[in-house]
Amino acid sequence: MAKFRADPSPSKVDLGVGVYRDLSGNTPVLASVRRAEQAVLAAQTTKSYVAAAGREEFNRAVEEMVLGSDHAARRERRARTTQTPGGCGALRVGAELIRAAAPTVTVHVSDPTWGNHTPLLGSSGLRLERYPYYDPATHRLRFDAMLERLDRSAEGDVVLIHACCHNPTGADLDPQQWQALAQLLARRRLVPFLDLAYQGFAAGLEADAAGVRLVATQVPEALIAISFSKNLGLYRERTGALIAIGENETRADAMLSHMLQIARSAAIAAHIFANPGLKGEWIEELTAMRTRIADMRALLAQHLHEATGDAAFDFIRLQHGMFSLLGVSVQAVERLRDEHHIYMLADSRMNLAGITPHNVAYVARAVAAVNPRGPG
Ligand SMILES: Cc1ncc(COP(=O)(O)O)c(C=O)c1O
């Protein structure tokens, strides 16, 4: 980020930082959020503390958005939700909960996974291991290897799963794969820890929760870490939640009492969720963000196809959310930065929201120049 800021080139392109950007390169305040902010401000009569678990109406709305209105875990009163400071807070509280309940378990994370998963989960003292997930050579999931590895893990181990828009690969499970994974988790008594940070960025609010809902019907216990940083554009408000599903009401209550150490206001999000007009407006804005990313995926794939003369980068079109691994070497990433002013992470994770119709041809030509034969 510092190098990008210091680069004086007028054609510089930032595909590194993980926030949504619109066609003009801005990370806007959504109109629905602005309206909710004004309403919350006007109605606010106190800055006193909210309840330990946060706002009741927020927690209920989050459970409904994530699990649906008629999920068995909610009907059977086995779901407990607390506000957290963003998705990071949810992951951290979840890690502490796991550590308190089962200090010796291993948490299995995908290879690769979001860089912050390791510090967030590892710093509570949990042992982490990687399961195969993505094959950089084919740009596809290593699903059989993933199941094979998880099938060999110990009963009670935790499996961290990206619910949609996998970060950094953009490669998600399909419905049959979710079914097979859910069955394996249930059969091997593994505990899913689902990380839902991009609900609405792949196919829509409902569709993107389908995997989470399925898994949560097949296993007795699960944790779900939720972030509203991206889909509501509430990055600095640190709005998130942790849902814990227990085997029975008593277990669920015990989980909640552990979770109550951290609580924060989620007034803006709660106001949007409770107001059908604003919620509709927000869903339209979310759809516009999703569509823009999908459009840029298609456009970049097309330009890369033209610039390189083959279909090696077409996979970008098929993936979900803001991120994909371009699949080029560290040297190519450095040349993109030093010779072409295009910035991405060293593993070639790029943020597709940094692409615009204005810079796409430039980016494609630069990629073709440093990596003429497509990803390695
Ligand atoms: C996979 C994943 N999980 C969780 C988060 C955390 O989100 P937040 O910014 O709300 O803490 C992110 C943010 O980049 C993410 O990519």
Per-residue pLDDT for 373 more than 90?
no
What six digits make up the tokens of 221? 């216990």
**Structure confidence at residue 371 (pLDDT):** 84
pTM greater than 0.85: yes
Identify which has the larger pLDDT, 13 or 376: 13
Structure-token match 């510090």, residue found: 119
Quick check: CB of 94 below 6 Å from ligand 1? no
Tens of pLDDT, residue by residue over 49-61, are 677 788 889 999 9
Tens of pLDDT, residue by residue over 115-133, are 999 999 988 899 999 999 9
| Choice among 114, 172, 178, 208 that is catalytic | 114
282-293: burial string, b at 16+ Cβ within 10 Å, e else: bbebbeebbebb
Quick check: CB of 87 below 6 Å from ligand 1? yes
Per-residue pLDDT for 101 more than 80?
yes
Helix/strand/coil for 309 = coil
The two counts, helices (H) then strands (E), for the chain are 15, 13
Specify the ligand 1 atom closest to the Cα of 85: 11
Per-residue pLDDT for 263 more than 70?
no
Residue 47 annotated in active site: no
Q: What is the percentage of the chain residues whose pLDDT exceeds 90?
A: 84
Average pLDDT over residues 126-150: 97
Which of 9-18, 200-209, 252-261, 269-278 is predicted most confidently?
200-209
Whole-angstrom distance, CA of residue 205 vs CA of residue 157: 29
**Structure confidence at residue 372 (pLDDT):** 64
Q: What is the percentage of the chain residues whose pLDDT exceeds 70?
A: 96
Contact 367/304 with Cβ under 8 angstroms? yes
Per-residue pLDDT for 84 more than 70?
yes
Residue 3 annotated in active site: no
**Structure confidence at residue 329 (pLDDT):** 94
Whole-angstrom distance, CA of residue 31 vs CA of residue 362: 31
Average pLDDT over residues 283-294: 96
Average pLDDT over residues 94-117: 95
Tens of pLDDT, residue by residue over 221-242, are 999 999 999 999 999 888 999 9
**Structure confidence at residue 296 (pLDDT):** 97
Residue 114 annotated in active site: yes
155 CA to centre of ligand 1 in angstroms: 28
Specify the ligand 1 atom closest to the Cα of 90: 11
Of 105-109, 251-255, 310-314, 371-375, the poorest mean pLDDT is in 371-375
Of the chain, the end-to-end C-alpha distance in Å amounts to 26
Per-residue pLDDT for 298 more than 90?
yes
**Structure confidence at residue 315 (pLDDT):** 96
What six digits make up the tokens of 141? 């999931």
Burial class (CB in 10 A: 0-12, 13-18, 19+), 167: buried
